[in-house]
Amino acid sequence: MRIGLVCPYAFDVPGGVQFHVRDLAEFFLAEGHEVRVLAPVDDPEADLPAYVTSCGRAVPVRYNGSVARLTFGPVTSSRVSRWLEDGDFDVLHLHEPITPSASLMALWASSEPVVATFHTANLRSRAMHAANPLLRPSTEKIRARIAVSEEARQTVRRHLGGDAYIIPNGVDTSRFTPDGATTRWSGTPERPTLAFLGRIDEPRKGLAVVVAAMPHILDALPGARLVVAGPGEVDEIAAALDPRVRAATEFLGAVSEDDKVALLRSADLYVAPHTGGESFGIVLVEAMAAGAPVLASDLEAFVAVLGDGPAGLTFPVGDSEALARAVIELVRHPGERHRLRDLGLRRARSFDWNVVAQRVMAVYETVIEGADNSPTESLVRGGLLGRLRWPTRGEA
C-alpha cells in the first residue's frame, strides 16, 4: 500500500504528534508498505529520514497552552500539491487536519481517500467553533476520522460534528523494557528518584506543582531527589527555587531518547503533574513500559490511559499537597510500587504499535474500499469496530 502521512508541526522539533507520525511511518515501512511523510521543518539543515519531505520552514504559533511550529502560504501550497502528485497514494493520512499548516493544505488539495487523526482535546476552542462553517466543505472530504482519546473524540464531535474511531497513540514498548541496569539516576531506599518529563517553561506540564510539593516531600524523605528532563530555560526557574529544593533537584535539559528510557527505567516514581490541555498521555505509557510506577494528576485523559486497574495512582489536578502525600506514601511502601509496576507493564502492552497500527490499517483498508466516514451497521456486522476498539480500562 502507498501511504502518505502529513504532520502539521515541525518534524525536527520533539513533540507527541511528530513522534506518532514517525513511529507509524516506520512501523508500516517495516511491514513492507511504501510510506512518505510531509511536514514543516524548523532547521533547513536538519538530518531528516529518507521518507520525510519538507514543505517549508516552520514558524512558532501559540496554541492550546503550548507553542506549535507551523507553515502556511503559497510556497507550502505548491510543495504540498507537488508531493501529492508525485506520491499517487492509496490513502492519505492527515494529522490535525484543521490546524492551519500542511495538513489543512493537503486536505484542500487532496483527491485520494483521506483519513484524519485528531490529537487535540479542547472542548472550549472558540477558534475551532468559529472556523467550522468555513472548514465544513473540506472536512466532508475526510472518509474516516480517528481520535487518540475520548477527549479528542468529544472535541471533534463538538466543533466539527460527526464521530471518530478511538485509536490511541502507539509506543514501541520493547524500547522501554526494564533491564535492571544501574544508572546515575537509579534511586536507593535512602535516596529515591522522582522523575518528571516535559517542557519546564510550559505551565500546563505542571512542573510548578511538583516543585511546590517538594518541601513537604523533603520533610518526610530528606534524601528524595527530583530529576527534571525537558527543554526550557533552567536558570530562571532554578534561581526561584527554595535552596533546599534546588539542592534536591537535577535539571537535565532536553535529553536523548536513550537517556529518556534510562531515566524512566531508573525512577522509583514517575510524576505527571500536568494541569490541562492533554488529550492522551504518551509519557505515561512510556513510563509504564519502562517499569516506573506512575503518579499522575487526575486529568480525564490520564485516568483513561491508566485504566480501571488502575495501573497508576492519581491526585487532584494542581493539588501539590495531595501530590506530596501520595509520593511519601508510595516511597514508604515499596510493595505498592511493585504492584503498580506490574500493572503498568501489562497495561502498556495495550498501546504497543503492534496493536495500534493494526487498527489504523483496518481504517485504511475500509476507506480504500469506500466505507463511510463514520461507523455504520454494516461495519459493525463486518467486525471492523471490533478490530478498532480501544481496550476498555478493565482490560489492562
Q: Distance (Å, rounded) from C-alpha 194 to C-alpha 202?
A: 19
Q: Give the residue-averaged pLDDT of 195-216.
A: 95
Q: Is the pLDDT of residue 33 over 60?
A: yes
Least confident of 114-118, 208-212, 299-303, 369-373: 369-373
> Selecting from 3.40.50.2000, 3.40.50.620, 3.40.50.720, 3.40.50.300, what CATH number does the domain 2-170+353-395 have?
3.40.50.2000
Question: What confidence score (pLDDT) does residue 296 get?
Answer: 98
Question: What confidence score (pLDDT) does residue 102 get?
Answer: 92
In this structure, what C-alpha cell is assigned to residue 300? 480525564
Please list, residue by residue across 67-83, b when 16 or more beta carbons sit within 10 angstroms of its beta carbon and e when fewer do: ebbbbbeeebbebbeeb
Q: Using one digit for the tens of pLDDT, what is the confidence trace for 61-90?
A: 765 556 667 787 888 889 999 999 999 999
Confidence label for 380 from pLDDT (cuts 50, 70 and 90): very low
Question: What confidence score (pLDDT) does residue 66 get?
Answer: 64
Q: Give the residue-averaged pLDDT of 193-208.
A: 94
Confidence label for 383 from pLDDT (cuts 50, 70 and 90): very low
Q: Using one digit for the tens of pLDDT, what is the confidence trace for 257-267?
A: 999 999 999 99
Q: What is the mean pLDDT of the chain?
A: 88
Q: Give the residue-averaged pLDDT of 104-108.
A: 93
Q: Is the pLDDT of residue 26 over 70?
A: yes
Confidence label for 347 from pLDDT (cuts 50, 70 and 90): very high
Q: Give the residue-averaged pLDDT of 22-38.
A: 97
Question: What confidence score (pLDDT) does residue 123 get?
Answer: 55
- Percentage of the chain beyond pLDDT 90 is 69
Q: Is the pLDDT of residue 373 over 80?
A: no
Q: Is the pLDDT of residue 138 over 80?
A: no
Q: Distance (Å, rounded) from C-alpha 57 to C-alpha 44?
A: 7
**107 CB-contact burial (10 Å; exposed 0-12 / middle 13-18 / buried 19+):** buried
Q: Tally Cβ neighbours within 10 Å of residue 14.
A: 14
Question: What confidence score (pLDDT) does residue 162 get?
Answer: 83
Distances (CA, A) of 47 to 42, 79, 110, 126: 11, 19, 28, 37
Question: What confidence score (pLDDT) does residue 105 get?
Answer: 92
Q: Using one digit for the tens of pLDDT, what is the confidence trace for 275-334?
A: 998 889 999 999 999 999 999 999 999 999 999 989 999 999 999 999 999 999 999 999
Residue with cell 480501571: 308
Q: Could you please report the per-residue DSSP string of 299-355?
A: -HHHHHHHTTTTSSEEE-TT-HHHHHHHHHHHHH-HHHHHHHHHHHHHHHGGGBHHH
CB 267 within 8 A of CB 311: no
Q: Is the pLDDT of residue 350 over 90?
A: yes
CATH 3.40.50.2000 range(s) for the chain read 2-170+353-395, 173-350
* Region 173-350: CATH code: 3.40.50.2000
Question: What confidence score (pLDDT) does residue 370 get?
Answer: 77
Confidence label for 111 from pLDDT (cuts 50, 70 and 90): confident
Question: What confidence score (pLDDT) does residue 241 get?
Answer: 93
Q: Using one digit for the tens of pLDDT, what is the confidence trace for 148-187?
A: 999 899 988 887 888 999 999 999 999 999 988 889 999 9
Question: What confidence score (pLDDT) does residue 16 get?
Answer: 87
Question: What confidence score (pLDDT) does residue 124 get?
Answer: 56
Question: What confidence score (pLDDT) does residue 132 get?
Answer: 58
Q: Distance (Å, rounded) from C-alpha 348 to C-alpha 173?
A: 7
Q: Distance (Å, rounded) from C-alpha 353 to C-alpha 286?
A: 12
CB 238 within 8 A of CB 254: no
